[in-house]
Structure 1
Amino acid sequence: MRYFWLLLLSLSPLLAQALTFTDLSRLTQTPATLSGQFQQHKYLQALDTTIDSNGQFSYRRDKEIRWQTLAPVADLLVMTPQGLSGSNTAAAMAGNTDSNPTLALVGTLFFAVMSADWQVLQQHFSLTGSEQGKEWKATLIPLDDDIRLAVQRIELQGDAYLHHLELYEVSGDQVRIEFTDLTP
């Protein structure tokens, strides 16, 4: 039994520690601006297929998120606290948050994820996760009934910045996004 405890103690620095929203605030940065590249993989359960896309994004705190898809089809989505606008397929999602409370909530949550605003996310999600050194993994489970209608869970990974996001929808669809070349 003594050897078991010695082994456990010797491995303890290698084991990941439980994660809280306070820990995430300490581990992550919330720059005024952030830009980078993304690779997105959207699995559509009804078609049993994955659609891959890539592009660039830029973020200005409390102002806007520009999500520019470069391939397979060029598209631009601009999200502000007031609503969505865009070109091509993004235009179909456009709307004003004053007249659409669901759109307002989606916008608030997307801004919170992109800006590491853990206080906002704490109001809408429970958290499980771990940290190891400067890297962390978090799973967000919706607390709000409105969010639970669409989202099962969101899995996030990163260090000072978010590098990986997975969104699991109630419909069975999944979105996986990798963020690279991040520049504040």
Structure 2
Amino acid sequence: MTTLSLGPSPARRDALARRIRLLVAATIAYDVIEAVVALTAGTPASSSALIGFGLDSVIEVFSAAAVRAPAGTGEAEPSPLGIVIAALSLAIMPFLSDAQRRAGREIGSASAVADSKQTLLCTYLSAVLLVGLILNAVFGWSWADPVAALAIAGIAVKEGREAWRGKGCCAPTTQGQACANSPVR
């Protein structure tokens, strides 16, 4: 007679959880080093590729940190300071974005207008962060933190892909004009 296995034994689960913690820690440590080296080398060399690689490493650090709770390796604690900075960013960034956009249009700088879109994106990211932090602090839903982190990473990846393809906020249509798909005109 064959028995159905419902997954690893409790001892095996513990061993796997320890392995995941070790692998996540190693990934985070390496990605931090990779980011620091790439950004440190890329900045004086004015290498967009190296800087982009370093920034991707930063995203990987956050991505690795975000899987800690779902993997059973740690839960986020409530962060009143995090809630304050997220709320401040949510309140301040739209005004900064608007001011950048208006000044960029007036001077005819597509780059400044595109940067205003990045600042506006920070508003959306701040909102996602704030929701995750509040759900954790008020309801004790620690899972909301890694979900918010994954949403933030997804938004950042989507924005990066659009920029790479020339569809994002950093792709001007002609000299001095914002990109065609920009809602910020």
Same fold (TM over 0.5): no
Q: Which has the higher strand share?
A: 1
In which range does the TM-score fall when normalised by the shorter chain? Answer: under 0.3
TM-score, normalised on structure 1?
Answer: 0.26
Larger Rg: 2
Q: Higher relative contact order by CA 8 Å / sep ≥ 6: 1 or 2?
A: 1
